[in-house]
Structure 1
Amino acid sequence: EDWLELGMVVGGTKGCFVDCVGVLGSCVDFRGEGLFREVCGRRGGWRSSWMMAVGVVNAVQTQQKPGSWEYVKEVRELAASFCDTTHQSRDAFWEVIKNEAQEAAAEEPLLASFLFATVINHGSLHSALSFHLANQLSGPSFPSTLLMEICMDVYEAEDIFCQAIRCDLAAVLERDPACTRFVDALLYFKGFSALQAYRVANYLWRKQQYPLAQYLQSQVSKELQVDIHPAATIGPGFFMDHATGIVIGETAVVGKNVSMLHHVTLGGTGKSHGKRHPTIGDGVLLGAGATILGDIEVGEGAQIGACSLVLEDVPPHSTVVGVPGRIVGRPGTAVPAFNMRHEIRE
């Protein structure tokens, strides 16, 4: 009861109040529930918060258990629909993610408070994402509240951001067998976090807010070890597996549904201004440690082998390996970024 009263007093906010319930986790018994309802009644209008708090410590009943292989197969089949930006589709996708968070909180009560504050307490995906990025990237001289407000403003500015976030998130679950829930990708996969922070910085750059965009890029590089220039162009459905050490230069262009692994570099050559970084076509797969330099084009559906050095144009639907890179065959599928297979086929 002391914990529950403290939650009401500290800050007097729904977040602080329910946060204490999250600490208690599944230990909230009938007496705690009664007091919670009583205090909610005194404070007024918190019925929905109570229901959400109960959801944190109780698994949501779904057709398939989130995280199971059956669940992964089911949501992978629906992944394309998650990129739909209609209001109904957005709400349905967000409900899936919140249900996963509730299931995760039931599995591990020690994370109940974190999951409530970061996911379940939010009304939309972009709100939860803004909150999470702000906590990851804020610093002593740049508070998380201000950074969250900036992210929220950017994500709400253009509808294309809603589509890109969902396509990027769906890509993680589709292409990474280590990911079994959308909420895990949202919270724990730094490639996704770095990409969404880039999308904010890119918007700021296009609005000529250069210092703020560069500050955000610097924080991402320092905290997440991913360096994407805010002026680069990256399409939706982009997947960075592991992500550590990825560098994407200022004039690089990355198409739709591209996959790359850690330590990939899309770098420039020379010191002149203008286009000096690669253009990567749709559906390309870039293996770990691949380096692509200069104003060259990697055609759609191409595959670049791990640790290859590419200095010349790559035709569409071809496989390149070696230092320097040479064409050795064709990928086994039209869109190698989707199946993530790195075998060399002649």
Structure 2
Amino acid sequence: MGLALPAESASLWNTIRREAVVVAAAEPALAPWMHEAVVNQSNLASALAQLIATAISSNRDEKTVTRRIAERAYRDDPSLIEIATLDLRAPLDRDPACPGPLHVLLHFKGYIALQAHRISHRLWKGGQTELAREFHGRITQALHVSIHPSVTIGGALFIDHGTGVTIGEGVVIDEDVSILQEVTLSSLPECHAGAPRIGRGVLLSAGAIVLGNVYIGDFAKIGAGSLVLASVPSGYTAVGVPARLISSASDARPALTMDQFLP
């Protein structure tokens, strides 16, 4: 999946803003927040900068600095907004309980944690490693999602629920992946041979743990609570502790359908 076109980002933002106006009119108690978070913002980049700063800052000065860092990142690298659009569309396509894009933007902490990570990753690649680590620490503390700044993540990632997700240094995740709560991806503590690489369209079910220099092939499915210590071929399902291959996946695109049925 390629990056979203600027017109797609603008169209999605217009939809979000219209939804916020409706909510503000229907629920007066929410009107100040709808205006601060969405209605008074000029575009998705502005709204994300505001929401990230609000989510991971503990005081007004910290919030101001964080917002400026986010705004600078979006200004200097427009692809961050294009990929944020793909990430926002992912739960709309995959979560039947999701009422709309405004809900994702304001209430899916996995989405905000992911966008904050993308800024920390940009800082990391640019040599601002201490600032990237600070972002990482604040994201982890505030949102209970820990993604090391070195982690490379493709577009249209869906972090469902988000609590307890831990992704360690050096992990690489391809596009169209879905991750549920309490998933851990990390190198082995006693081994520095490498970190997991997650292929395109993989579904990582709740509580799954993937450790070491292993590759999870495209469109594979990892069952809930499984411990994966060896590579999984493309299209296969792995389940158990330690995980074993039980068959080719019955669903050709498990991350998109979110089908956690085990054949």
Q: Same fold (TM over 0.5)?
A: yes
Quick one: distance in 1 between partners of 2:60 and 2:126? 23
Query: Cα distance, 1:263 vs. partner?
Result: 0.4
State how 1:187-336 maps to structure 2 within 5 Å.
Answer: 187-271=106-190, 273=192, 276-336=194-254
1:136, 1:154 → 2: CA distance? 17
RMSD: 1.6
Task: Note if contact 1:264-1:288 (Cα within 8 Å) is conserved in structure 2.
Answer: yes
> How far off its partner does 1:159 sit?
2.6
1:337 aligned to which of 252, 255, 263: 255
Match of 2:30 in 1: 111
Match of 1:128 among 47, 51, 60: 47
Query: Which has the bigger relative contact order, CA under 8 A and spacing at least 6?
Result: 2
Residues 332 and 105 (structure 1), Cα distance of their counterparts in 2 relative to 1, 3 Å cut: farther
- The alignment partner of 1:329 has SS state of strand
Output the CA distance in 1 between the equivalents of 2:134 and 2:104: 24
Where does the alignment leave 5 or more consecutive residues of structure 2 unmatched?
A: none
Find the aligned partners of 1:180 and 1:160 in 2 and give their Cα distance: 26
- Does the aligned pair in 2 maintain the 1:85–1:162 contact within 8 Å? no
1:135-156 CA distance string (max 9 Å, x none): 1111248521111010011122
Q: CA deviation at 1:272?
A: 5.4
Residue 251 of structure 2 contacts residue 259 of structure 2 at CA under 8 Å; is this kept in 1?
no
Q: Deviations over 1:143-183 (max 9, x none)?
A: 21111010011122223212210000000111122211101
Structure 1 unpaired stretches of 5+: 1-79
Amino acid at match of 1:314: V
- Assess if the C-alpha contact under 8 Å between 1:268 and 1:276 holds in 2: yes
Give the distance between the partners of 1:257 and 1:162, measured in 2 at CA: 17
Q: Which amino acid is 1:289 matched to? A: G
- Helix, strand or coil for the counterpart of 1:320? strand
Aligned counterparts, 1:86-97, within 5 A: 86=6, 88-97=7-16
Aligned counterparts of 1:285 and 1:155: Cα–Cα separation in 2: 29
Q: How does 1:32-71 map to 2 (within 5 A)?
A: none
Contact preservation (8 Å) 2:9, 2:82: no
Query: Is 1:101 aligned with 2:20?
Result: yes
Structure number with higher helix proportion: 1
Contact 1:98 1:120 in 2 (8 A): yes
Per-residue CA deviations over 1:290-329 (Å, capped at 9, x if unaligned) read: 0000010000000000000000010000000001101111
